[in-house]
Structure 1
Amino acid sequence: MKSFNIPLVFHPIYSQLDLPERHRFPIDKYHSIFKRLLNEGVSENVFHLPEMLAYDRASPLIDAAYIDALVSNSLDHKAMRRIGFPWSEQLIKRTFTAVGGTLLTAELAYTHGIAINLTGGYHHAFTDFGSGFCMINDLYLAANRLLEREDINRVLIFDCDVHQGDGTAALAQGRDDIITVSLHCEKNFPYRKQDSDMDFPLDKHLDDAEYLQTVEQALLLALNCYHVDAVIYDAGVDVHQDDDLGHLNITTKGVYLRDKLVFAACKQRGLPVAAVIGGGYQRDIEALTDVHLQLFKAAYDVYTSNNG
């Protein structure tokens, strides 16, 4: 990928978080993806360093009292347990830098047609509480950032993480300028689902063929029905057959074809697409990196190489 010229967003803090031994969250994967991209020949010149989002810039879209409690370590034990991380100042800095990264990705996508954040997809965060390793919903904030542009009137959040984007669905409820679409394993976290504009519940052990057909149908239906002006794509790889938390049977090639399908549809329609890497929970970081790398290979093939 030596001629890779797609804007990428990365900050070292993405992987700089001390977690208890054997913690479920694979914090090292972000730096691993960054290093692998460099080893694949991607130039450091395409990387953009995000700034930490100021705490008060998240409100009023996110409840100010919740933000204050999160930042000041005033959330009760039950609320932090629901998030799944032990509180630390570094956790807060990392969280708001990751959100800043997705906002920067949206801005770069608007300018360049595509951009990818090497983290992001914190779709279980609601307006006044966090859940499932998610504290601030970057997808929702990024959609609102895009809507600040005069020629962006409607944004699609297309969520292919294996877990339903419940926080995103709840935040965007009743809005016709943010369209939420979620393709997720039905019998998986979160156990209480929210209503997206379009939900596509998937059966356990689904394979590539049926999955890719569903992705294509869902995407085309959303694009044809809602006439959006931009897309935010959560490219979670916890759909992979080897993922510890997924329950689907999607191969690495299937992940690549899914990502390529999404990018090709956006490019064909001239829609800017801001992608985030989403979930992925293999404990083998190298194997997990291989699956996440499919997003960048698909983007390269659609936007950079002569294959797109």
Structure 2
Amino acid sequence: MHIYTTERFVLPLPPGHRFPMRKYAALRERIDLALQSGEIDPQTIELLEPPAATDAQILLAHNADYLYKVSAGEMTRDDIKRLGFPWSPELIERSRRSSGATIEAARSALVHGFGANLAGGTHHAYADRAEGFCIFNDSVIAARVLQKEQLVQRVLIVDGDVHQGNGTAAITRQDPSIFTFSIHSERNYPFVKETSDLDYGLPDETGDDAYLAALDEGLAACARRFPQPDLVLFLAGADPFEGDKMGRLALTKAGLRARDRLVYRFCEQYGLPVAISMAGGYSPRVEDIVEIHFATVLEGIRWNLQRRDRR
């Protein structure tokens, strides 16, 4: 199984910026520690440097004018405000690497059953604009790259970030080969929602039990409405957590682990490979974000090994 990470995921930001960029390096350190301690068997995974997504790959999801504008640093003040990051060459390299990591994690999933990008989940990026810390929509890029290479035909995107995947929904609106399921906080950003193939907008303070019931129902609906996908892309956001400053759903860490298990069991039930990305996580304590993301990765590794044994 392949897990993709790079130092280039960590973008230099101005002092006091609200985005917890440190979480990427901290998550890599936590996985390194697990490998050293034996919590993760070093024989089961490879940590790999992702390639940068190429222009040709990015253009499967984004407009050529937009790709030129962001690559050349010609974003307007309004563009920068909507994005939330200052423009820099490092920003573009980070975004290309993040998209490349999701592409490669998806390839790993097709071969091994599971793959992971320790960043990604940039679901607010539209075909022609950046939003909400997202430049390139890595999930749509990955889905379409694998489709173009005739490795898959139908892709299910399960978006567990606390914010609706508005960019993903908009890009794939007329694409019947990609099904988008977003389970999110209804009274949260983006305040004007797009229409996914399946949206579950949940109220504030939903909590574990109601969330898990909704997720279970939503996954069952995916199986009915989009049967036999070739691949699942799971955006395993840490921001539904009760301690997250940008979330409202009040899930506990145990609830988030149960969320991950539900998605993995769904994949096993229907024999589906799954690639995960980390998506959002904004807790004031970076340790909370890392613990949640690490649990998602660890559960995925263990689940996939057990799934192989059960075959």
Q: Give the TM-score range, shorter chain.
A: over 0.9
Q: In 2, distance between residues paired with 1:120 and 1:100?
A: 9
Q: Does 1:241 align with 2:274?
A: no
Q: Does 1:103 align with 2:98?
A: no
The percent identity for this pair of structures is 33
**1:260 alignment counterpart:** 261
CA deviation after TM superposition for structure 1 residue 285, in Å: 1.4
- In the superposition, the TM-score normalised over structure 2's length comes to 0.93
1:103 counterpart SS class: helix
Q: In 1, distance between residues paired with 2:291 and 2:68?
A: 38
Is contact 1:55-1:96 (8 Å) kept?
no
2:157 counterpart SS class: strand
Q: In 2, distance between residues paired with 1:172 and 1:50?
A: 25
CA deviation after TM superposition for structure 1 residue 105, in Å: 0.8
Q: In 2, distance between residues paired with 1:151 and 1:110?
A: 8
CA deviation after TM superposition for structure 1 residue 153, in Å: 2.1
2:205 counterpart SS class: coil
- In the superposition, the TM-score normalised over structure 1's length comes to 0.94
**1:198 alignment counterpart:** 198
**1:3 alignment counterpart:** none
Q: Does 1:147 align with 2:142?
A: no
Is contact 2:50-2:100 (8 Å) kept?
yes
1:156 counterpart SS class: strand
Q: In 1, distance between residues paired with 2:293 and 2:151?
A: 32
Seen in structure 2, the aligned counterparts of structure 1 residues 175 and 305 have a Cα distance that, compared at 3 Å, is closer
CA deviation after TM superposition for structure 1 residue 304, in Å: 2.5
1:223 counterpart SS class: helix
**2:85 alignment counterpart:** 85
CA deviation after TM superposition for structure 1 residue 283, in Å: 2.5
Q: Does 1:281 align with 2:275?
A: no
Pairwise CA RMSD: 1.7
1:136 counterpart SS class: coil
Q: In 2, distance between residues paired with 1:305 and 1:268?
A: 13
Counterparts in 2 of 1:1-308, with a 5 A limit? 6-15=1-10, 17-41=11-35, 42=40, 43=42, 46-148=46-148, 150=150, 152-227=152-227, 228-304=229-305
Give the length in aligned residue pairs. Answer: 302
Q: In 1, distance between residues paired with 2:261 and 2:146?
A: 23
CA deviation after TM superposition for structure 1 residue 305, in Å: 5.0
Per-residue deviation, residues 57-109 of structure 1 (Å, max 9, x unmatched):
31153111111110111111101110000111111111111111111111111
Is contact 2:27-2:290 (8 Å) kept?
yes
2:276 counterpart SS class: strand
Is contact 1:239-1:249 (8 Å) kept?
yes
Q: In 2, distance between residues paired with 1:170 and 1:235?
A: 20
Q: Which runs of 5+ in 2 are unaligned?
A: none
Q: Which runs of 5+ in 1 are unaligned?
A: 1-5
Amino acid in structure 2 at the alignment position of 1:223: A
Q: In 2, distance between residues paired with 1:279 and 1:113?
A: 24
Seen in structure 2, the aligned counterparts of structure 1 residues 108 and 126 have a Cα distance that, compared at 3 Å, is same
Per-residue deviation, residues 179-238 of structure 1 (Å, max 9, x unmatched):
011001000000110000000010001110110111111112102321122111100010
Q: In 1, distance between residues paired with 2:110 and 2:213?
A: 28
CA deviation after TM superposition for structure 1 residue 268, in Å: 2.5
1:296 counterpart SS class: helix
Q: Which range is displaced more, 289-298 or 208-217?
A: 289-298
CA deviation after TM superposition for structure 1 residue 151, in Å: 6.0
Amino acid in structure 1 at the alignment position of 2:31: L
Q: In 2, distance between residues paired with 1:230 and 1:95?
A: 23
Is contact 1:204-1:248 (8 Å) kept?
yes
Amino acid in structure 2 at the alignment position of 1:11: T
Q: In 2, distance between residues paired with 1:62 and 1:53?
A: 12
2:225 counterpart SS class: helix
Q: In 2, distance between residues paired with 1:161 and 1:289?
A: 15
Is contact 2:57-2:141 (8 Å) kept?
no
Is contact 1:146-1:155 (8 Å) kept?
no
